[in-house]
Amino acid sequence: MSKPGKVFLAGAGPGDPGLLTQKTVELMSHCDVVCYDLLIDQAVLSMIPADKTMLPVGYRGYCGATIEYGMHPLVIEQALAGKSVLRLKAGDPFIFGRATEECRSLQHHGIEYEVIPGISSALGAAAYAGFPLTSNGMASDVTFASGHKVSPTIKSWALAGDAAGTLILYMGAKKLKKHTEELMLLGKLPSTPVAVIAAATSFKQRTLISTIDQIGDQIIEFDNGDPMLVALGEVVSLANELNWRDVLPLSQQQVLTCSNDQESRNKLKLLGATIVDAPKIEVNYQFDSEDWLTITTNKHLWLDSQEAAKSLIECSRKHRLDIRDWHWNISGSQDAADYLQHFGIFITINDKPVDHVCIVASTKSHGICGRQVRLIQPNYQLSPSSFALTNEIVAVEFLINNNLLLDDAVVFTRNVEVVEFLSDTDVKSYLITKNDSFDELDISSLILCSRAA
């Protein structure tokens, strides 16, 4: 039998993929298989390379059924088959993560393992709802308790009186009314501030702030099935003052991106958007043999874009044609010139001459196109979005055909062909121009107009 592979028990944080540790991000690429909880956000799953085997292994609540705690049989099976497995768990694996049982069952099977901490939902929820867990003069300690059952911790927090710190209840939302009634019976002031944070740190995050005498009833309407975390204590009252996230114009938006446009992605992130990298694309640069013959037997080439220049470089490499032996008289766009300059090749910048062979970035343009795009479909459930970022028509077609764009959706793009394509559909487009147009003001008014539509 082959040596078992190693299992990495890693925390995936509460939702925002930016909260993953560097180590977990690296393991996403290096492990053979990724096994993930049902609570893991799709923005996190979208960071996993498309060629990985991905297996959902979690459960949510157990509705009275008996669960055999321990490492999931699929994880054991993959590891025993010699595969390295990244076992992604919500939040931190060592906080209400049943990790003791999981580690023991790995030991039992002789499987080596490593534990990588993650941002627990309490830390994410407090930071993204805008209140600290401890604060000078208000709370000097914080307690993490399970609210799944009536726990002695809840009792001791109530009995500690009003000077007590902050109480965090994981899995406590469903029984919150019972917990708050008990807390008040034990002497906790009915005016004690409480926050319930649903889907913390994701674009779906919602926060309900109230007092312990009210929250038990209010939570019934608030509950939409997303995971919820409860925080009790004076620190919650700081949320109005310290909240930083709600002012970001895109904090409640998810953008499906199918693009390597780092500049736009970074700007969207700074505006608060959650980026979901899906569907992924694979771009190849190769001319078919007939087109390559046309190119090599002509003397004058014109390149319409950086992508066209890249095609020429990549295909020369593939055909073992040294760029020092290029025999062409080349001209083209500024972008093409800028790209080729990195290779020590200087071309004339001009508009398309009539007698040249034109190499173009898109099959829709008139000329020879060496850029081929393949879409890799996500192998996990993607939910629809109001925004997308892509320069690829195939990606837009995929999003529309799979109902991944909501009715009032807007597609950000740098490609005028995408704008033209969308003009025949109900989906709006937003052309990102070279230098500007992508600032906060534009985005806010765009959201307003997409909501008004």
Ligand X SMILES: C[S@@+](CC[C@H](N)C(=O)[O-])C[C@H]1O[C@@H](n2cnc3c(N)ncnc32)[C@H](O)[C@@H]1O
Judged by the rule CB under 6 A, the positions of this chain that interact with ligand X are 14-15, 39, 90-92, 95-97, 120-121, 125, 170-171, 197, 199-200, 227-229
Give the residue closest to ligand X by C-beta: 91
208/256 with CB nearer ligand X: 208
Residue placing its CB nearer to ligand X in the complex, 59 or 346: 59
We find the least distance from the C-beta atom of residue 119 to ligand X, in angstroms, to be: 8
Q: Which is nearer to ligand X, 121 or 311 (CB)?
A: 121
Q: Nearest distance from residue 100's CB to ligand X, in Å?
A: 13
Cβ 149 to ligand X, closest distance in Å? Answer: 13
Nearer to ligand X, 128 or 421 (CB): 128
Shortest Cβ distance from residue 175 to ligand X (Å)?
11
The least CB distance from residue 376 to ligand X, in Å, is: 27
How near is the Cβ of 95 to ligand X at its closest, in Å? 4
- In whole angstroms, the minimum distance from the beta carbon of 91 to ligand X comes to 2
Q: Residue 11 CB, nearest distance to ligand X (Å)?
A: 7
Give the nearer residue to ligand X in terms of CB position, either 90 or 167.
90
Q: Residue by residue, what is the 3-state secondary structure of the chain?
A: CCCCCCEEEEECECCCHHHCCHHHHHHHHHCCEEEECCCCCHHHHCCCCCCCEEEECCCCCCCCCCCCCCCCHHHHHHHHCCCCEEEEECECCCCCCCHHHHHHHHHHCCCCEEEECCCCHHHHHHHHHCCCCCECCCECCEEEEECCCCCHHHHHHHHCCCCCCEEEEECCCCCHHHHHHHHHHCCCCCCCEEEEEECCCCCCCEEEEEECCCHHHHHHHHCCCCCEEEEECHHHHHHHHHCCCCCCCCCCCEEEEECCCHHHHHHHHHCCCEEECCCEEEEEECCCHHHHHHHHCCCEEEECCHHHHHHHHHHHHHCCCCHHHCCCEEEECHHHHHHHHCCCCCCEECCCCCCCEEEECCCCCCCEECEEEEEECCCCCCCCEEEEEECCHHHHHHHHHCCCEEEEEEEEECCHHHHHHHCCCCCEEEECCCCCCCCHHHHHHHHHHHHHC
Q: Which is nearer to ligand X, 215 or 229 (CB)?
A: 229
Q: Of the two residues 209 and 340, which places its CB atom closer to ligand X in the complex? A: 209
Minimum CB distance to ligand X smaller for 34 or for 145 = 145
